[in-house]
Amino acid sequence: MNDALHPPVRTAPRKPTVRFLLSHPAHIVALGFGSGLSPFAPGTVGTLWAWLAFVMLQPHLNDSQWALLLAGGLTIGWWACTITARNLGIADPSPVVWDEVIAFWLILWLVTPAGLWTQFGAFVLFRIFDATKPGPVAWADQLFKSRRGKPIGWSQGFGILFDDLVAALCTLLVIALWRWV
């Protein structure tokens, strides 16, 4: 059965290209406006793109606008990550970097005002938590994994975002402890 509630299961995973990126609005968002197409460390490149975008947006947005942007970004990101993962045929594809973008924006928003070195420290900490997935981040990463042969659904799309949000929380806890000591 192939309909909106039961999308077809893609058997062979796809590698995203510029053509794939531009073929659907969800792909543009999920692939971080192209930053996820990086052949090397797409998560790091996506986080760097998030940092640059934050620096460009920060002077123009107040806290209420940032809160709305983050809430909207999470909602749209959930949709975009789900659609893109389905279309790639991979439950948590590495080129999908919207999870890094939204999580790092959250970190930067909560530590601002922060100087360049504090932002750099937040970047390094976040990438360590996201890449190595210690403790709670590993738990969050496994919580919504799809089972082999099952279609990629909304829970997997949320799972793509969730482990990065937990990595952001861990980053913020370390920064808070560092500032407190």
CB 66 within 8 A of CB 106: no
Domain of 120 in residue numbering reads as: 18-180
> Which pLDDT value is given to residue 12?
62
pLDDT in tens, 110-123: 998 989 999 999 99
Mean pLDDT of 99-116: 95
Establish if 173 belongs to a structural domain.
Answer: yes
pLDDT in tens, 8-39: 544 467 889 999 999 999 999 999 999 999 99
Domain count, the chain: 1
Establish if 10 belongs to a structural domain.
Answer: no
Establish if 33 belongs to a structural domain.
Answer: yes
Mean pLDDT of 94-105: 97
Give the angle subtended at the CA of 75 by the CAs of 41 and 49, to the nearest 5°: 30
Establish if 6 belongs to a structural domain.
Answer: no
Establish if 4 belongs to a structural domain.
Answer: no
> Which pLDDT value is given to residue 1?
44
Establish if 1 belongs to a structural domain.
Answer: no
pLDDT in tens, 42-63: 999 999 999 999 999 999 999 9
Establish if 83 belongs to a structural domain.
Answer: yes
pTM: 0.89
Establish if 5 belongs to a structural domain.
Answer: no
Task: Name which residue leads in pLDDT, 4 or 110.
Answer: 110
60-68 CB contacts, 8 Å cutoff, 24+ apart: 63/109, 66/105, 66/109
